[in-house]
Amino acid sequence: MKKEKEQKKWINLDTSQSIWGRFFTVAPLVVIGTKEGDEYDLAPKHMVTPLGHDNYFGFVCTPGHATYHNAKREKAFTVSFVTPKQVVLASLTATPRCDEQKEVPVVKHIPTQLGRTVDALLVKDAYLCLECELDRIIDGFGDFSLIAGKIITAYVRKEALRISEVDDAQVIEDMPLLAYLAYGRFAEIKESAAFPFPKDFEQKVLTK
């Protein structure tokens, strides 16, 4: 009886199709910038992550999107970590193009800045900006691919920088973070608590 009662707490998901729309998960929301011929492209992505503790960054994309081919051809891309106040701007970068239209008109209406070392745009006033050289593309995750880059330039807003003189909780309160709740919702993170690491646990992330 106890086992049956426990099993009733769970719903089996059909793994013959995508499961990711059946529940919520928390993810960052960034805007990827790439060069497309004589124009520039911006695209929102939430399947993104640092790749280890060295300066590598990756995002998931599909060969059906211009971002994939732009990054592959130009061998570079930028990453803008936008703030909660910029969620509408991030959403606008997902605006589809008209048929056979090479230019992305909405890009001209979004405040941007050109990368310092990569010829691609970043969203102006994002709290963290990364400029990456393409390291590799790994295809074959169904219809999707992992695009990995080496970070060659990075800069962060002063309010978002972790320093020993300021409590981490205060940093997040002063510069709230945008969380994408896949799929279809978002949240502003202003409150946080220290993670209860075990005694003598060694963190590899370094802050100055």
Q: 105-137 burial string, b = 16+ CB within 10 Å, else e?
A: eebeebebeebeebebbbbebbbbbbbbebeeb
What fold characterizes domain 26-189? Pnp Oxidase; Chain A (2.30.110)
Its pTM stands at: 0.91
pLDDT, tens digit (0-9, with 9 covering 90-100), for 118-139:
999 999 999 999 999 999 999 9
Domain map of the chain by residue range? Answer: 26-189
pLDDT in tens, the chain (208 residues): 677 777 788 999 999 999 999 999 999 999 999 999 999 999 999 999 999 999 999 999 999 999 999 999 999 999 999 999 999 999 999 887 655 555 566 788 899 999 999 999 999 999 999 999 999 999 999 999 999 999 999 999 999 999 999 999 999 999 999 999 999 999 999 999 999 989 888 766 555 4
- Mapping DSSP to helix (H, G, I), strand (E, B) and coil, where does residue 89 land? helix
